Amino acid sequence: MFLLFPSILFAQDKDTVAMRYSRIITKEDLKGYLTIVSDDAMEGRETGKDGQKKCADFIQSMFRSFGIPPYRDNTYYQEFPLDIVKPTHAEVSINKINFIANKDFYNYPGQSEQQINSTSVLFLGYGIDDDKYSDYKGIDVKGKVVMILSGEPFRKDSTSFVSGKKDRTKWSYYKTKPDKAKEKGVSALLIVVDNVEKDVADNKHRLESESMKLEGNTIEMPVIYISKEMANAILKKKKIDSLKEKILASGKPLNLVAKTKIEIGIKSKIEKVNSENVLGYIEGGDLKNELIIVTAHYDHLGKSGDVVFNGADDDGSGTVGVMELAQAFAKAKKDGHGPRRSILFMTVAGEEKGLLGSSYYVQHPEFPIKNTVCDLNIDMIGRQDEKHKDNANYIYVIGDDKLSSQLHTISESANKLYENLELDYTYNDVNDKNRFYYRSDHYNFAKNGIPIIFYFNGVHEDYHKATDKVEKINFDKMEKITRLVFYTAWELANRNERIVIDSDKK
């Protein structure tokens, strides 16, 4: 009896406070809000468009109805300026001969306006970094026009030069070539591909899409995908195929300088637009200078003709989860149980365009970054993936141990005490090829040294399709996950000590 007594008290204590307010979060409310957020009237909530603004207005009106006052100057909005970059073809000439876009070469939109003129092109075989397949070591690539072969070199026995294995799926390698080149200060990167016209057909949508960025970002290195004929024009007497054969036969890297006059012109057509993050700020008590942030993105893909991408799961589910959490904490505060630390419930825009709203926030934080304890980010919590098709009682937890082991412990114990979900850490593995850790808004906080948790149900057959609709949402599941976030936030906001940053597993 004596031993049991304190734990009973503890349980009763929870029952009267945290548990009571967790019950404000209900599947009925979640369904009601999500039915509005994912309605056709919201037109797919594309950043900068009317539907997104309509949804912002709905969220702010709900924050107001929960009794949350505007966070400053009578507003719930943090507005941010964006550039819509229209697709334009690059202009490329070699020794004064103009080449033709989408036949001889192609480039993706989003590159900033610039003119690059050079009298030489540096050929670096397959590589741009100091891996064993490239011997550019000691060669200064800074400010130079660099040409490389696409893909990965394979030996005659079809083992890879890079991995030494018969493995043709080293996808991360393909992605990193332009990144590496940018990092090294290359002025323009030419990538020789096997078939320009096929690539253009395969990537038609991306090539013709507008892209969006925060206003006034820095100049991006152009990346131009060129045909073998164009490569031969650059090399003059040499032929790209024979250089390729030489590399593959010898198993050794190769580099050379082609004395060729090349001119690359990128023109950009930009349209200005504004978007807004919607902020529901609940001021804390004795520790109010410290801040917990809870985020979800309310923007989605918009519409294509008459087809609306409703984005019920992505990320209508997280959006209404944040709204319910705000309501629960607002009610607790009204009743005299407000959080000790302040909490910012922030639905952001621009996620689908490249995490732009959260990126803007961390560049222009409304509350000091150094006082920001953590970010709990919810992106898709209403569905099940293939792996869990027979078990709704799960959620992927990503990133919780990357900067703070305490955050992981708090998340685990909140789950054990209250919700008993299966916390699946599959995607927390740094080697996971999906790289989800880098793919939602929490990452902008993590980059700034703020511990995060990312709650995610995994992708499913309706992911990024017009069929991501409210009828397919499991609201029992959503209620449980939202309550798990509630208990985790409750502990983070009310514990004596701010969680410490004690690890670096990025």
Question: Which residues of this protein are in contact with Zn ion, per CB under 5 A?
Answer: 314-315, 379
Q: Write down the least CB distance from residue 375 to Zn ion, Å.
A: 15
Q: What DSSP state is assigned to residue 44? A: G
Q: Write down the least CB distance from residue 315 to Zn ion, Å.
A: 4
Cβ proximity of 387 and 458 under 8 Å:
yes
Taking the least distance from each CB to Zn ion, the nearer of 455 and 475 is: 455
Judged on CB neighbours under 10 Å (0-12, 13-18, 19+), 14 is: middle
Q: Cα(167)–Cα(171) distance, rounded to whole angstroms? A: 10
What are the tokens at 466? Answer: 């017009």
Taking the least distance from each CB to Zn ion, the nearer of 297 and 408 is: 297
Task: Please list the residues that pair with 146 across neighbouring strands.
Answer: 122, 189
Taking the least distance from each CB to Zn ion, the nearer of 127 and 382 is: 382
Taking the least distance from each CB to Zn ion, the nearer of 314 and 401 is: 314
Q: What DSSP state is assigned to residue 465? A: S
Q: Write down the least CB distance from residue 440 to Zn ion, Å.
A: 6
In sequence order, which residues have a C-beta less than 8 Å from that of residue 154 and are 6 or more positions away? 160, 161, 168, 248
Q: Write down the least CB distance from residue 385 to Zn ion, Å.
A: 14
Q: Write down the least CB distance from residue 297 to Zn ion, Å.
A: 6
What are the tokens at 426? Answer: 């599959």
Closest CA to 408 of 420, 423, 422: 423
In the chain, the amino acid numbered 204 is K
Taking the least distance from each CB to Zn ion, the nearer of 342 and 358 is: 358
Cis peptide before 50 (omega within 30 of 0): no
Taking the least distance from each CB to Zn ion, the nearer of 314 and 324 is: 314
Q: Write down the least CB distance from residue 296 to Zn ion, Å.
A: 8
Q: Write down the least CB distance from residue 311 to Zn ion, Å.
A: 8
Taking the least distance from each CB to Zn ion, the nearer of 127 and 357 is: 357
Dihedral of CA atoms 199, 205, 209, 212 in degrees, nearest 10, equals: -90
